[in-house]
Amino acid sequence: MPGPLSGLLVVALEQAVAAPFATRQLADLGARVIKIERPGGDFARGYDRAVHGQSSHFVWLNRGKQSVELDVKESPHVLRALVERADVFVQNLAPGAAARLGFGADDLTARHPRLVTCDISGYGSDGPYRDRKAYDLLIQSEAGLISITGTPESPAKVGIAAADIAAGMYAYSGILTALYDRERTGRGSAIEVSMLEALGEWMGFPFYYGTYGGTPPVRSGVHHATIAPYGAYRAGDGTVIQLGIQNEREWQEFCTKALLMPHVATDARFVSNSDRLVHRSELDAVIDSVFGGLTGPELIGRLESARIAFAQQRTVAEFAAHPQLRHRDRWRTVSTPEGDVRALLPPATFRGREAEMGPVPALGQHTEEVLRWLGV
């Protein structure tokens, strides 16, 4: 079956991560996404050479799109012709750049009332930070994410582009909402997403905890700042297990069936979560003394019998071979200019309909085709 967004045209004046992540979701749902790349290409093409000599970021973010290499300053008429036919226009250029080129949201929506526009920026279209360049690390820092990530001794950035991904997902959901609204009203919308505000939404727990509790969540590595036991523990053979004890019933089951030490559940040091936090080092010593005498399979067996929430800490390679994903047949093959790659199906599964997951384009691969289609 054709994708639910088949027949929609998305024109994306995009680069790096946030906007390409949003438009790739639209392409997977069947939209035709024309990606406008500057001469020399989206600079994300040069981030690394890990995937058959291609950038891992670019391969991840740009499947199913058509690449048009275009100097918009020299040939604005081409972009104007595309926008005239478009349902959605997405851009994440440097602050103010699209407006200077004549493709600001106000101008576009005035000329094309049914058009949905989406501007993605670091800090938003006004305010003292408006003109600042923004990259993921910088937004993680400004949003306070780095301050609560890492160990007590050393803060750390999150290992993925959290700010870019957050902005991309809010752009994607905003575009879908605007398209639904257009079906009812006949008019498009101008959407604005800032990376700071997108990641700020994800900072809701630490904001409330720190603002109203008086102190921010402490950096606790792989442990939880306010729940114990919750975090990484090691079996005697080196297998690392992440535990998550959420309530007192689970705590009692854990002591009885996993530790085989029911008396620990009523120890005055550990009787409530608050007590366990105060005495976390002593609690960890008890857990380590038991887990250290077990193999990974033995420990997993005990945790499963106790119905305790846990996970095996996996490497990226182990994730790629995850038995759950294999059982659910979640991997597909996507072609790239330099060879096929594996790719996960998008998380939202439509029963009886599969995401399109088209090939990753070479730079300018579709320039002539699109120009002929436009009659330029």
In angstroms, the first-to-last Cα distance of the chain is 32
Name the CATH topology of 230-312.
formyl-coa transferase, domain 3 (3.30.1540)
The pTM (predicted TM-score) of the whole model is 0.92
Looking at the predicted structure, is the pLDDT value of residue 362 above 90?
A: yes
DSSP string for residues in 119-146? EEESS-SSSTTTT----HHHHHHHTTTG
Which of 42, 106, 164, 284 is an active site residue?
A: 164
Paired with 253 in beta bridges are none
The answer to which of 156-165, 217-226, 236-245 has the lowest mean pLDDT is: 217-226
Looking at the predicted structure, is the pLDDT value of residue 147 above 90?
A: yes
Looking at the predicted structure, is the pLDDT value of residue 376 above 90?
A: no
What is the DSSP-derived secondary structure letter of residue 353? Answer: B
H helices present in 190-279, as ranges: 195-202, 204-213, 248-253, 273-278
Active site residue 164: yes
- Which residues, other chains included, contact 284 with Cβ-Cβ below 8 Å and sequence gap of 6+? 229, 233
Report percent pLDDT > 90 for the chain.
94
Distance in angstroms (rounded) separating the CA atoms of residues 354 and 118 = 26
Q: Which CATH architecture has domain 9-203+331-374?
A: 3-Layer(aba) Sandwich (3.40)
DSSP string for residues in 1-54? ---TTTT-EEEEE--SSHHHHHHHHHHHTT-EEEEEE-TT--GGGGS--TBTTB
Looking at the predicted structure, is the pLDDT value of residue 220 above 90?
A: no
Distance in angstroms (rounded) separating the CA atoms of residues 22 and 178 = 14
Average pLDDT over residues 340-347: 97
Average pLDDT over residues 218-236: 89
Looking at the predicted structure, is the pLDDT value of residue 182 above 90?
A: yes
Q: What is the pLDDT of residue 155?
A: 95
- Sorted by where each begins, the domain ranges of the chain are 9-203+331-374, 230-312
Q: What is the pLDDT of residue 226?
A: 81
Across the chain, what does the average pLDDT equal? Answer: 96
35, 228, 327 from 46: Cα distances, Å: 17, 43, 35
Average pLDDT over residues 295-317: 95
Q: What is the pLDDT of residue 117?
A: 98
Sign of CA dihedral 64, 354, 188, 127: negative
Task: List pLDDT tens digits, range 104-114.
Answer: 999 999 999 99
